[in-house]
A and B are shown apart, each in its own frame.
Chain A
Amino acid sequence: MSADTGSFEEIALGYIDVVYRVAVGLCGKSVDADDLVQDTFLKAFERFGMFEQGTNCKSWLLTILRNTWIDRLRHQKVVGNVVSLEDDIIDQAGEVDEDVKLNSSELLERFSDEQIIKALKRLPHEQRLTLLLIDVEQLSQNDVAEIIGVAVGTVKSRVSRGRMELKTRLESYAKEMGLTGGEK
């Protein structure tokens, strides 16, 4: 089908909530997230002639979102000062004492949604995206593997490591914020 059928809005724009959520997970609640969503839909519109109707539009849009986001990250790098996407971790959570280990959902509830999203934003890029697609968007491992362009096994290990990393960071924040002291 061609992009001039007028049905792009009917088919693709219905996923704006999904695309926006993932964009916020990647960029935080910011103008950057809005820009990423806009660019994703504009690119999708330009390529709509290549989209096979009846196939998974959500995965198709998320693939474009991921590629657009990767392109942006690459643009932000100074040539000659290239940093691997995998290595671009803002900071590492420190070691956490045994007595602040997170062992119940009760402690997780003490963090605001915004704090959880901020903690997620500090994970390595591809780990963050994988976690978003699996845990937040509830996509299948196969769909995520296709979107990210890796093997299913890689998706499993990334999401597992990502969840562990997020948990460790939250434990670390809990300690800093005094959320655990004496209440265990």
Chain B
Amino acid sequence: MNHLTDEQFEDIMQGKDADLRHLSECKDCQNALAEKRAVAKRLQMAFKSVKPDASLEETIRGRINEKRRQLGLVVSGGRPWKTRLNDKMWSTLAAAAVLFAVAIPLAIYLSASSSAIAGQAELVRIHEHNMSPHTEFFSDSDPEKLAAYLKDTLGFTPAMPAEGHGLAIRGCCIAHFKEQITGSYVVSTPSGIISIIVVPDTPKDIAMDRMPAKKGYGQTFWKSSYAHCNMVAVRLGDYTYCGVGEISKISHEYLRDLLNRLLSDTQPS
């Protein structure tokens, strides 16, 4: 007699159709199911009393409002504008028609703009994470080892600048950008720490502005500022290399010079 498989047990636990005829006849499977149910029930009970402190929600609300301020959005204690908008829409049919004609393209614009700004926010977040006190992360690292690690994880080796003249590659990490795995590494420079983050999105996708052309620089560079960070990007192959550094220490021009050096020092493999 064949006993139920783990997969069949899991289906029964989820209330799905399964071989219940065998179960009704087999004491071993009945016992096995009872044990699985006992563990599952006990585990669920163990978390019944796990609840966040009220202060945690307040902290999150505060941080979200802070983020809104950084984004230049109004922090409102009243009803959401969407609800207020609905009230107005019902006032007259004509007004609604006009509003409809204006609101659709505006909503599309705002949605695309919000998504692009969210991309910048994510770049800053990755940079901040790179700056967080993970001492191991900033320990001396061999660029070849870093490159091998990134290749192993990402499937390709990002371009890296040659070290020297005050530049040193300090470490790398894998993060998520728009829910996709992406790589970044940290370069220590005389002016401060810079994160180079490699993403598939184009600079335009991240709402960056084209920088004026500079003599001797063959590539188009893009720039933006978000929160406390400056960022400059350049497209190289299928990826955009985004340099991110603190506004107080790293200018757009400095980031552009670093990325230009990246282009001249290495080629992506």
Contact = CB atoms under 8 A, between A and B. Distances in A.
Interface string B7-44: 10111001000000000000000010001101111111
Interface string A1-30: 111111111100100110011001100010
Nearest to A142: B14
Contact of B64 (A8, A63, A113, A140): A8
A47 to B, nearest CB: 5
B102 interface: no
Interface in A116-162: 116-117, 120, 131, 134-136, 138, 140-141, 153, 156-157, 159-161
A56 interface: no
B136 A46 contact: no
A116 B43 contact: yes
Contacts of A77: 136
A46 B81 CA distance: 18
A163 B45 contact: no
A111 B73 CA distance: 49
B111 interface: yes
A161 B61 CA distance: 38
A41 B125 CA distance: 13
B82 A5 contact: yes
Interface stretch (A86-94, A98-106, A172-180): A98-106
B174 interface: yes
B173 interface: yes
B136 A78 contact: yes
Nearest to B141: A79
A96 interface: no
Contacts of A42: 60, 63-64, 67
B171 interface: yes
A71 interface: yes
Contact of B111 (A2, A80, A120): A2
B50 interface: yes
B6 interface: yes
A61 interface: no
Interface string B112-144: 011100100110010001001010110101100
A63 B2 CA distance: 37
Contact of B6 (A1, A82, A103, A157): A157
Contact of B52 (A2, A10, A16, A153): A16
Given A5-B82, A16-B56, A80 B149 contact: yes
Interface string B161-181: 000000000011111101100
A22 B250 CA distance: 39
B80 interface: yes
B43 A131 contact: yes
Contacts of A140: 14
Given A17-B52, A75-B137, A2 B114 contact: yes
A140 B114 CA distance: 32
Given A7-B82, A140-B14, A163 B39 contact: yes
Contacts of A78: 136-137, 139
B97 interface: no
Contacts of B91: none
